[in-house]
Amino acid sequence: GPEMPLFSVPKEVAVGTAMLGVAFATGMLAVFGTPKSSKSIIGKSGPLWQYILDHSLREHPILKKLRLLTADHPWSKMMVSCDQAQLMANLVKLIKAKKVIEIGVFTGYNTLNMALVLPDNGRVIACDINEDYVKIGKPLWKEAGVEHKIDLRIKPAIQTLDELLASGEAETFDFAFIDADKESCNEYYEKCLRLIKKGGIIAIDNVLWSGRVLKPRKDDLATQSIHHLNEKLLRDARVNISMLPMGDGVTLAFKL
């Protein structure tokens, strides 16, 4: 049967298993159902969710290789869902982007995904504070022939964004993808909004946060931050928005 993308089986099943082929067998879905996020957010039954992936996912072979490598990582749940990454690449292509910012690289799946669709002189400024995770994806960036399009900055993303603004790069970027520590999401958004051109897009990941945004606890700073940004975006006259129930929720903000 068709291979099952990692994110349509529960993380505890897909992650750490020595037999990835077994984890991706179609029969698994019938037994285990879909992860909570796709069930609660999208409300799809297992087979229908699988149908979406079977009939829309077109994954570059090196992206697939990196996804399977990431599946073995204890923090593999941090990776962007493959169907969502595909939408990001399609948006990057649609607006003919040349300069992209990514905040939160992890193993570099989405970085590679965007670099693959950028023109040869395109660049992804990839921001992360952990080089260990990135080491997993770096050799595959090279294998895919897109390493020269990726400018990796290992330091707090706020510093990198401030450096870009200080060097006169405001309103020169086409696309930004924000997927890092949630407590800083508003600050990332504000700085990206200054760096993005009019007509550019900012994608903010995890805006539904496994449903925790419905009842943010007082002591849960991450959820509070996401919820406050969601409320702010609703009224933000600087952008048009669409909040999509894809992956763990993603908001697209189109700069006016």
Mean pLDDT over each residue of the chain, to the nearest integer: 85
pLDDT attached to residue 234? 98
pLDDT attached to residue 221? 96
Compute the distance between CA of residue 31 and CA of residue 11 in angstroms, rounded to an integer: 14
Task: Give me the domains of the chain, ranges plus CATH numbers.
Answer: 47-255 (3.40.50.150)
Instruction: Check pLDDT > 50 for residue 165.
Output: yes
pLDDT attached to residue 39? 42
For residue 226 the two structure tokens come to: 């996401």
Of 183, 193, 188, nearest to 158 (Cα)? Answer: 188
Per-residue confidence band for 48, with pLDDT thresholds at 50, 70 and 90 = confident
Q: pLDDT for 191-250, tens place per residue?
A: 999 999 999 999 999 999 999 999 999 999 999 999 999 999 999 999 999 999 998 999
Q: pLDDT for 68-116, tens place per residue?
A: 988 877 676 677 788 899 999 999 999 999 999 999 999 999 999 999 9
Tell me whether residue 172 is exposed, middle or buried, using C-beta atoms within 10 angstroms of its C-beta: 0 to 12, 13 to 18, 19 or more: middle
